Amino acid sequence: MIPPSLSVVASTLTNACGVGWDAVRATLREGRSGLRRFDLAWAPPLDTWIGRVGTIEAVRMPAGFAAVDSRNNRLAHLCLEQDGFRAAVAAAVARHGSDRIGLFVGTTTSGMLSTELAFRAWTTGAQEPAQCPRLARDVHNMHATTAFVRHRLGLAGPAQTISTACSSSAKVFAAAKRFIAAGFCDAAVVGGVDSLALSTLFGFKSLDLLSAAPCRPFAVDRDGISIGEGAGFALLEPDGGGQVGLLGCGESSDAWHMSSPHPEGAGAAAAMRHALAAAGVDAAAIDYVNLHGTASRANDVAEDRAIRSVFGTTTAASSTKGFTGHTLGAAGITEALVTIAALADQWIPGTVNCASVDPALGSTVVRESRAQPLRIAMSNSFGFGGSNCALVFGVTR
Amino acid sequence: MRPLTVGGIGVCAGGLADWAHAARTLLDPATFVPGPAPKGAPEILPPTERRRMNETSRLACLAAADALTAFPDGAAATIPAIFVSADGDGSVLAPMLHALSQREIVVSPTVFHNSVYNAPAGYWSIATRSTAPSTTICADAGSFAAGLMEACAQAHATGGRVLLVAVDAPFPESIRVLGASAAPFACALLVDAGQRDGGPRFERWAIVDGAARDEESTDPLARAFAGNAAAAALPLLRALARGERARVALPYLDGSRLELEVLPR
């Protein structure tokens, strides 16, 4: 008997694997990585690979939103237009009222790229001052993309942006669950949007965490991450009749270091245990774990230890970061939705680019996508500042 | 919406050393003397972290510690924390933008890890050895009200205590347009879904259309902290300082406001 849950009524996903569910699903199924060699015209060269959404440059903001044009908002807009998502939200608005639907969006850089490029144009003198893009708070602010999504979807309920580094858009599920339980709203749109920016690309470079090749999660030769961009949204309703539901969320803090995980993965393990307890299931009930699996040397070791302490060594696990890159503030929603798709389709996505699993790691890593009966699965997200979140989803009908 | 009990209050702001000082000043605003925020960093942090921490993390941790002064050492280790900021940290953003605007980009690792929006939450958890969950929220000018709603939702989800910390601070001149705070302001509220310590209560919450009324421009505190979204808490803090029943309005999203009743202990 599976406990009551929040039903995933509709969803949409866009990243380097494709625009919308059909394209993303096909890429995951075929085991094709969406990564490409760094090719950003607006950035100085960097010896790394990225998960870029190829069509963002051609996207135009919808009428009335030109003033908040940014790479992040274009990505949000592109994503919202896919998979009938806006229509599904409109139907939910008709059912509940626009003021009864909450909005919870994760991001780490919001529209910051616009600020970075404006600053760069000024200081490098590449453009005359009059032609330089201007700094705009409405574009830069951490809440800017959430505000755009709220207006675009016509929502008037509670809304917040969660920015906890790479766990941001996993934690949106926990916040939505609490807000519905507290009676602040009856349904929720959750999501994450994070686009490529100089600060994250060169910031991770400063920590020597970028791989010069496509990232290889849990592989013996892994040597760093590939940064990606992406967006995803889900509509959650209690008893909403969806095929898959959110069963439980677990959150914890490492209390260890700002940018390194606890070496034993203690915080990560605590988040997984909390999620299992919240879902009312034990570790043996989990058929598949979508790993955070960034492909950094230290992160994968810490997560592997956490997985082993909670699950032992036999639970099937994979990281999909080799497909999408690490989409940072969008990683939580991206991998939650991949986990939901795995449950809906009864299949496990592989760990693309991982040719040989590190023998020092003890988890059962699924390298090649394969069909498998699944009932309950977990998705892990861990971020800087020691912010951990694990989500448990299950087939509910 | 459900009631909350207030179990602790903290402040760290320009010209306001702590909650005791802020409470006296809120009762007699004419005594307010604008000035810098208190110096130093929480002693509970390891020296390396104290050296590395950014300004909003420092202010937030001092306000959070102030809210917990009545609690024994170690109490914070099990209390979930919510951090809110409308603008983030301009003192980290400015050197980041400077580095990114160079022909050859070299970012300082410390600047990068301090640039995450949840840096205050990270430093607080390290300082207090708290493995309890934390979250970091932005809702633009409505950030404080959004944090209060999150605190209410969390407290009622767990039936226990939650620490809410709000912080915003002025941005350097070159990027002033991105962060409008006139002076630094951080405050913290320890709230509880139960009534175990019989503190003041928040009740009868409602989101209402129409902007929260601006504080009277004659109020020296409202003027001193103009544009600081964390200082949107001032009307709530004033009601708590006065210990009188009051209906308070806090700015929320798109010209709406969060109204709630403050009941004295």
Question: Which amino acid does the sequence have at A187?
Answer: A
- The residue ranges of DSSP E strands in A3-151, in sequence order, are 6-15, 18-19, 36-37, 49-51, 101-106
Question: Which amino acid does the sequence have at B131?
Answer: T
Which structure tokens are listed for B98?
A: 């400077």
Q: Which of A115, A165, A178 sits opposite B178 (nearest CB)?
A: A115
φ and ψ of A368, to 5 deg: -115, 135
Asked if A255 has any chain B CB less than 8 Å from its own CB, the reply is yes
pTM above 0.80, yes or no: yes
Does residue A235 surpass a pLDDT of 60?
A: yes
| Distance, C-alpha A194 to centroid of its chain | 8
pLDDT band at A318 (very low <50, low <70, confident <90, very high): very high
Supply the DSSP symbol for A62.
P
Residue from A110, A63, A113, A83 nearest A19 by CA: A83
What is the fold of B7-194?
Answer: Peroxisomal Thiolase; Chain A, domain 1 (3.40.47)
* The residue to which tokens 């699950």 are assigned: A311
| Contact by Cβ (8 Å): A80, A43 | no
- Which pLDDT score is estimated for A19? 98
Measured CA distances, B18 to A81, B9, B23, B86, B128 (Å): 49, 9, 9, 21, 19
Which structure tokens are listed for A20?
A: 């919308």
Say yes or no for a CB contact (<8 Å) between B107 and A203. yes
Q: Which of B107, B113, B117 sits opposite A202 (nearest CB)?
A: B107
Cα separation of A159 and A103, whole Å? 5
Say yes or no for a CB contact (<8 Å) between A178 and B125. no
Supply the DSSP symbol for A31.
T
Say yes or no for a CB contact (<8 Å) between A175 and B153. yes
Asked if B149 has any chain A CB less than 8 Å from its own CB, the reply is yes
- Which pLDDT score is estimated for A124? 76
Candidates A48, A109, A137, A260: best to mutate against B (most CBs of B within 10 A) is A137
β partners of residue A36: A50
Q: Taking each helix axis from N to C terminus, what angle separates A71-80 and A85-96, rounded to the nearest 10 degrees?
A: 80
Supply the DSSP symbol for B112.
H
Domain boundaries defined on chain B: 7-194
Does residue A1 surpass a pLDDT of 50?
A: no
Does residue A130 surpass a pLDDT of 80?
A: no
Burial letters B215-239, b for 16+ CB under 10 A, else e: beeebbbbbbbebbbbbbbbbbbbb
Domain boundaries defined on chain A: 6-395
Asked if B39 has any chain A CB less than 8 Å from its own CB, the reply is no
Asked if A142 has any chain B CB less than 8 Å from its own CB, the reply is yes
Asked if A254 has any chain B CB less than 8 Å from its own CB, the reply is yes
Burial degree of A307 (CB within 10 A; 0-12, 13-18, 19+): buried
Say yes or no for a CB contact (<8 Å) between B178 and A140. yes
* The residue to which tokens 């774990």 are assigned: A289
β partners of residue A50: A36, A227
- Which pLDDT score is estimated for B211? 82
Burial letters A168-188, b for 16+ CB under 10 A, else e: bbbbbbbbbbbbbebebbbbb
Measured CA distances, A117 to A50, A124, A135, A140 (Å): 19, 10, 9, 11
Question: Which amino acid does the sequence have at B35?
Answer: G
Asked if B204 has any chain A CB less than 8 Å from its own CB, the reply is no
* The residue to which tokens 């919510």 are assigned: B82
Q: Which of A124, A161, A386 sits opposite B122 (nearest CB)?
A: A386
Which structure tokens are listed for A290?
A: 């979508």
- Other CB atoms within a 10 A radius of the CB of residue A239 amount to 11
Supply the DSSP symbol for A55.
T
Q: Can you count the helices (H) and strands (E) in chain A?
A: 12, 17
- Count CA atoms closer than 13 A to A254's CA, side-chain side: 28
Measured CA distances, A336 to A100, B94, B158, B159, B219 (Å): 24, 34, 24, 27, 48
Does residue A9 surpass a pLDDT of 50?
A: yes
Cα separation of A226 and A162, whole Å? 23
- Which pLDDT score is estimated for A2? 46
- Other CB atoms within a 10 A radius of the CB of residue A125 amount to 9
The string of DSSP letters for A359-381 reads: TT--SEE--S-EE---SEEEEEE
CA A33 to chain B, closest CA, distance in angstroms equals: 28
Q: Which residue ranges in chain B fall short of pLDDT 70? A: 1, 196-197, 214-217
Beta strand A387-395 pairing with A244-253: antiparallel
φ and ψ of A370, to 5 deg: -155, 150
Query: Which chain B residues touch A122 with a CB distance below 8 Å?
Result: 101
Choose, from A249, A292, A354, A389, the residue flagged as catalytic.
A292
Question: Which amino acid does the sequence have at A143?
Answer: H
Cα separation of B173 and B52, whole Å? 22
Say yes or no for a CB contact (<8 Å) between A384 and B113. yes
Chain B residues 208-247 with CB within 8 Å of chain A: none
Supply the DSSP symbol for A335.
H
Mark whether A143 is an active-site residue: no
Residue from A259, A236, A294, A297 nearest A101 by CA: A236
Asked if A146 has any chain B CB less than 8 Å from its own CB, the reply is yes
| Rounded (5°) CA angle B110-B114-B117 | 160
Residue from A223, A225, A169, A218 nearest A318 by CA: A218
Q: How far apart are the first and last CA of chain A?
A: 11
- Classify domain A6-395 at the CATH superfamily level: Thiolase/Chalcone synthase (3.40.47.10)
- Other CB atoms within a 10 A radius of the CB of residue A42 amount to 12
Q: Which of B137, B178, B179 sits opposite A161 (nearest CB)?
A: B137
Cα separation of A184 and A187, whole Å? 9
- Give kind and range of the element (H or E) at residue B21: helix B19-27
Asked if A183 has any chain B CB less than 8 Å from its own CB, the reply is yes
Mark whether A292 is an active-site residue: yes
Which structure tokens are listed for A67?
A: 């003033």
| Rounded (5°) CA angle B199-B205-B207 | 150
3-state SS class at B66: helix
- Which pLDDT score is estimated for B197? 64
Across the A:B interface, residue pairs with CB atoms under 8 Å apart total 201
